[in-house]
Amino acid sequence: MTSLPFYQIDAFATRTFEGNQACVMPLDDFLPDAQLQAIAAENNVSETAYIVPKGDGVWALRWFTPTVEVPLCGHATLASAHVLFSHMDFDGPEIGFDTVKSGRLTVKRATGGRYEMDFPAPAVRKMDITDDVAAALGAWPLEAWGGPFYACVFASADDIVQLQPDIDLIAKLGIMKDVNRGNLGCLAVQGDGMDVVSRFFAPASGIPEDPATGSWHCMVAAILGPRFKRPLDCFQAYPGRGGLMNVELIGDRVKIRGKAVTVIEGKFTL
C-alpha cells in the first residue's frame, strides 16, 4: 500500500464549517489521470488539488472535481498555498503555481491573515436573457453576461438568497458558443454589508451548488471592476456555509484575497 499526504482545508473561511472544502495532496510526481480522478471522487469535495514541486518556489498544480479536471479553481489554489505556508514550511515571499490552462498563478501573504491570489481576468460580454435560463433559475434576472460561465445579475441580495433553482435544468442548458451555461452564477450588488452577494451552480462540473468559488469571482471582478474601480468585498451565499473574499480588477489580472482553515491532516492510502 502507498500512503500520500492529505489535507482538507476550508477556503475563503475564517473558521471550520465556512467557505468551501478542498483537499490538497502534495506529490513527488503526478499519478496517472485516472488515478487522480478516482482519488478526487473518493474525497468527494468540490475540488481536490494536486501539487508537484518544480523548484525555486514554484509548484505544478492541477484541480479535479469528483467528475472532471477543471481549468481553474480559486478556492483549491488558496487551500494549496495555505498548506505550503502553514504545513510545509514554505517561507518565501510568493508561491508560483504552474497550471495546464491558466498559466502561472501566484499567491502571497496579505494583511489580516489573508492570502492574495493573482489570476487572469476573463473576457466578458453582455448577453441576452433567455427563457430557458429564467426557467432554470425560477426568476428573471435584470441582465446576463457571458464569459467562462453564464452570469445573471439580480436586483438585491434577497433575490440571490431566495433563489430556488432547478439544478437539473441548469445542467441541461448546455453550451452556447464558448459559454458553459451548465455552470451558472448569479450576483447582486450590495446587501448584508457586502459589495456583492452571489451564488454559483456548477452541475456541469458535478457540483450542484459550490460554496465559495474563486474562478467565478474572477468573472464577478471582470463584470463589476470597471464600474467600481476599487476592491470589492464579496459574500458567496451558499446555504449554511458562505464564503468571504475580496476581489480587485487590475488591468487584465484579478486579485482575490481570503483566509483558509485546516480541518483535517492525515494520509490517503492507495
> What residues are labeled active site?
47
Q: Which residues contact 173 (CB under 8 A, 6 or more apart)?
A: 132, 133, 136, 150, 181, 182, 184
Residue position matching grid coordinates 499519478: 31
Q: Which residues contact 238 (CB under 8 A, 6 or more apart)?
A: 20, 199, 209, 210, 211, 212
DSSP string, 73-125: -HHHHHHHHHHHHHTS---SS-EEEE-SSS-EEEEEE-GGG-EEEEEEPPP-E
Q: Is 34 helix (H, G, I), strand (E, B) or coil?
A: helix
Q: Is 230 helix (H, G, I), strand (E, B) or coil?
A: coil
Alpha carbons 212 and 223: distance in angstroms, whole number? 18
